[in-house]
Amino acid sequence: MPLFATGLNHTTATISLRERLAVREAEVPEVMAALRDQPGVEEVVLISTCNRVEIYAAGSEPQSVLPYLDSRFGLGPDVSKLYRHVGDEAARHLFRVVSGLDSMVLGETEIFGQVKTAYAKAQEVGATARTLNKLFQHAFRVGKHVRTSTHIQQGATSVGGAAVELAEKIFGELRDSTVMILGAGEMSRRTAQSLQSRGARSVIVANRTHERAVELAAEMGGRAVHYDAWPEEVKIVDVIISSTSAPHHVITPDHVRAALRRRQGRPLFLIDIAVPRDIDPACGEFDDVYLYNVDHLEGMASEARARREKEILRCEKIIDGEVTTISRQLAIPPGVVPRAASSPESTASASTTATATHPASATPA
Amino acid sequence: MPDPDRLALMLSTLCFLGAFAAAAYRVMVAPYRGTWPHHGLMLAGFLGQCWVLAIKGKELGRCPITQPWELLVFISWGVVMMYWLVGPAYRVSLMGIITAPLVWIFQVLALILQGTIPPQTGDSIFRAPAKIDPWLEWHATVSLLAYAAFALAAAAGVLFLFQDRQLKSGHPHRLIFNLPPLRNLGRGLVGLLHVGFILLTIGIISAYFMEKWPNALKLGASWAVWAAYLGILAYHWRRRWPQRRLAEVAALIFLLPLASLWIVSRH
């Protein structure tokens, strides 16, 4: 059965255009029903996330979804900015999306869940049947296969992510971990949030301006302590994120030595994201103390990004094989230029986009 | 065709090599978690060990710990028992990545030692003793299980030190992120030291119920091992050693039980 995918993402459209096409969660069933009711369209799945809006359609004339999108969202000439994938290229695009190859952060896993949710919603409203059911179920298997048999999702790609990865390496689960933020900067906040997102429950904030510490502590559901009192807290915290603007070392070996005596052999993870550095490098020489500065973390993140880039070819190979399999199973025709959509303009752009959508290069990660 | 006990030992050793390969492969691609191939091979290896010990036990009419290679097989069996029993209790699936290579090394040594024994002529040179002393069997079994726990603690210590060194460098190798977290490893290590110490205490006490006490050298060696581990644990209870220091000590101190085994098997 003919298959068609259209939409836009963070690389093909500005945020204002994405906003125009974004479909609120409550409206998704209605839009999907309307899309399915278009002549020649039998099945539809709509994916709407902050980075992408995509429609997958199957039927005798699946590209008939375009005029509806144009009229419903008032796209006008912007309709030409929608990418279009036809036949097996649509399947390939979906496989790349669920595998995280089309995401802003290459190999990220969130999109997998988002596509699953979108598909479940489409099923709920009866917008899918044999073709899209088979295609999406196959896509989820492909997504899992790509992630488990390549290193596409391995390693943290941001400073915060690298800090979380290290903390989990040291402490295992972060549920019982307490984090102290020294210096209420944006970078500390984001790093602490990353740790919280992985389970760290307790956050203590100390800042020279106490009001700022109170504000940040409230935002993070933690508690603020006066700046002079932070050394007292070291005995109970597991992770310290320091990013003050002090021109000298704030945490010295004396602080660490005093704290270690009262920590009963618990490890301590020190994250120094300040420049100039807040933590005396000698602090990392104590047993069970692990010190990382911003260069270490950025180094880890960039290595992970490079590793993921290297994996793209392996992922594409897997996807190639899977596209062949599903195309045979569903008798999906090969990617050809779609027939006339609503206007000559959109047809023209469709031809260009469809021919330009080579798997490895068309949809940037 | 090798003797049945040697054949069983070879097959068991191969299974542990396979289990090690399965665990190593898993660690290369993803965070370590026991996989079915790994568990299956561990189970097959364990059954092979039971087969060896059953054959030798029947032949000897007692617990098969009369020669160094048998001791090694028995300790390996104990290590695998710990893998099944203690590993899950401390939530350390890490035992898989430690146990398989450790047991494989022990059993390769056992095969080498077994190969040095001249072929028997006529009746077996090992005969069932006229009377079995159950306390002797109990003492030997429990003491060797204690040594198995110490062996696992030593291996956990080495794994801890490897990871600690990597983390301290600031540029850790990707591989360590697939290995068990340091805190779990440290907890597992402390747990194993406790289990080993309790078993050894029971083993030594039971020696005094034997009809004939072991010679002074054997008893002295056992007490020395016991005292060394008591010292480590007592210090840890009082002062809470840093995990790294405890890992170093657990790895090094295992030389003592190894030396005592050598003494016990020679005298």
pLDDT band for A255, please (50, 70, 90 cuts): very high
Judge: A291–B170 Cβ closer than 8 Å, yes or no.
yes
Nearest partner of A88 among A364, A360, A356, A323, judged by Cα: A323
Distance of residue A208 Cα from the nearest chain B Cα, in angstroms: 29
- B112 and B165: one domain? no
Domain termination site, one of B60, B81, B116: B116
> How far apart are alpha carbons B254 and B262 in whole angstroms?
13
> How far apart are alpha carbons B75 and B106 in whole angstroms?
8
On whether the CB atoms of residues B15 and B39 are closer than 8 A, the answer is no
Nearest partner of B247 among B179, B158, B163, B181, judged by Cα: B158
Q: Give the model confidence (pLDDT) of A229-247 as tens digits.
A: 999 999 899 999 999 988 9
Residues of A in contact with B182 (CB under 8 A): 169-171, 267
DSSP state of A251: B
On whether the CB atoms of residues B248 and B222 are closer than 8 A, the answer is no
- B158 and B186: one domain? yes
Nearest partner of A122 among A19, A223, A44, A7, judged by Cα: A44
- B164 and B241: one domain? yes
The ipTM assigned to this model is: 0.80
Distance of residue B249 Cα from the nearest chain A Cα, in angstroms: 14
- B94 and B141: one domain? no
Residue B233 lies inside a defined structural domain of this protein: yes
Residue B126 lies inside a defined structural domain of this protein: no
Comparing CB atoms, the residue among A287, A296, A307 nearest residue B170 is A296
Pairing, β A289-293 against β A268-272? parallel
- B172 and B266: one domain? yes
Least reliable range by pLDDT among A75-84, A275-284, A291-300: A75-84
What are B's interface residues with A at a Cβ cutoff of 8 A? 29-30, 163, 167-168, 170-172, 174, 176-177, 180-184, 186, 240-246
**Residue corresponding to tokens 């994938």:** A85
Q: Which of B35, B93, B177 to mutate to test the interface with A (most CBs of A within 10 A)?
A: B177
A283 is catalytic: no
Domain termination site, one of B65, B81, B116: B116
Q: Which structure tokens are listed for A345?
A: 């303009």
- B102 and B144: one domain? no
Higher pLDDT, A339 or A175: A175
Average model confidence (pLDDT) for chain A?
87
pLDDT at B126: 47
H/E element, A225: strand A223-226
Region A6-21 average pLDDT: 89
Judge: B171–A296 Cβ closer than 8 Å, yes or no.
yes
How many residues are listed for chain A in this entry? 365
Residue B165 lies inside a defined structural domain of this protein: yes
Domain termination site, one of B116, B146, B164: B116
**In total, how many domains does chain B have?**
2
Residues of A in contact with B180 (CB under 8 A): 172
pLDDT above 90 covers a percentage of chain B that reads 39
Asked whether residue A277 carries a pLDDT value surpassing 70, the answer given is: yes
Residues of B in contact with A291 (CB under 8 A): 170
Region A92-96 average pLDDT: 96
On whether the CB atoms of residues A44 and A36 are closer than 8 A, the answer is yes
Comparing CB atoms, the residue among B163, B167, B241 nearest residue A265 is B241
The burial of B51, by beta-carbon neighbours within 10 Å (0-12 exposed, 13-18 middle, 19 or more buried), is given as: middle
Nearest partner of B27 among B188, B180, B185, judged by Cα: B180
- B147 and B260: one domain? yes
Q: Give the model confidence (pLDDT) of B203-250 as tens digits.
A: 999 988 888 777 788 888 889 999 999 999 999 888 788 899 999 999
Distance of residue B179 Cα from the nearest chain A Cα, in angstroms: 8
pLDDT at B88: 66
On whether the CB atoms of residues A279 and A291 are closer than 8 A, the answer is yes
Give how far the C-alpha of residue B119 lies from the chain's centroid of Cα atoms, to the nearest Å: 28
Q: Which of A50, A306, A313, A360 is catalytic?
A: A50
Judge: A267–B182 Cβ closer than 8 Å, yes or no.
yes
- B145 and B176: one domain? yes
- B80 and B173: one domain? no
- B90 and B186: one domain? no
What are A's interface residues with B at a Cβ cutoff of 8 A? 148-149, 151, 154-155, 165-166, 168-172, 260, 264-265, 267, 284, 286-288, 290-293, 296, 299-300, 303, 307
Query: Where do runs of H (alpha helix) occur along B94-215?
Result: 95-115, 134-169, 182-207
Residue B162 lies inside a defined structural domain of this protein: yes
- B70 and B144: one domain? no
Residue B166 lies inside a defined structural domain of this protein: yes
Asked whether residue B69 carries a pLDDT value surpassing 50, the answer given is: yes
pLDDT at A355: 34
Residues of B in contact with A284 (CB under 8 A): 168, 170
Domains located in chain A, CATH noted: 3-154+306-356 (3.30.460.30), 159-301 (3.40.50.720)
pLDDT at A279: 95
Average model confidence (pLDDT) for chain B?
85
End-to-end CA distance of chain B: 33
Residue B156 lies inside a defined structural domain of this protein: yes
Comparing CB atoms, the residue among B30, B180, B244 nearest residue A287 is B244
Phi, psi of A180 (to 5 degrees): -115, 130
pLDDT at B120: 57
Q: Give the model confidence (pLDDT) of A118-148 as tens digits.
A: 999 999 999 999 999 999 999 999 999 999 8
Interface A-B, measured as beta-carbon pairs within 8 A, has a size of: 62
pLDDT at B265: 67
> How far apart are alpha carbons A192 and A179 in whole angstroms?
7
Comparing CB atoms, the residue among B182, B186, B240 nearest residue A169 is B182
Residue B125 lies inside a defined structural domain of this protein: no
Distance of residue B164 Cα from the nearest chain A Cα, in angstroms: 8
Q: Give the model confidence (pLDDT) of B105-160 as tens digits.
A: 999 999 998 888 766 544 444 455 556 778 888 888 898 889 989 998 998 899 99
CATH number at residue B210: 1.20.120
Q: Which of A288, A298, A303 to mutate to test the interface with B (most CBs of B within 10 A)?
A: A288
Judge: A171–B181 Cβ closer than 8 Å, yes or no.
yes
Asked whether residue B93 carries a pLDDT value surpassing 70, the answer given is: no
pLDDT band for B22, please (50, 70, 90 cuts): confident
Q: Give the model confidence (pLDDT) of A29-53 as tens digits.
A: 999 999 999 999 999 999 998 889 9
pLDDT band for A353, please (50, 70, 90 cuts): very low
Asked whether residue B267 carries a pLDDT value surpassing 70, the answer given is: no
Residue B122 lies inside a defined structural domain of this protein: no
Judge: A169–B172 Cβ closer than 8 Å, yes or no.
yes
Q: Is A199 left (phi over 0), alpha (psi -120 to 50) or beta?
A: left
Which residue segment(s) compose the domain that B246 sits in?
A: 132-267
- B2 and B101: one domain? yes
H/E element, A33: helix A28-36
Question: Nearest residue of B to residue A289 by CA position?
Answer: B168
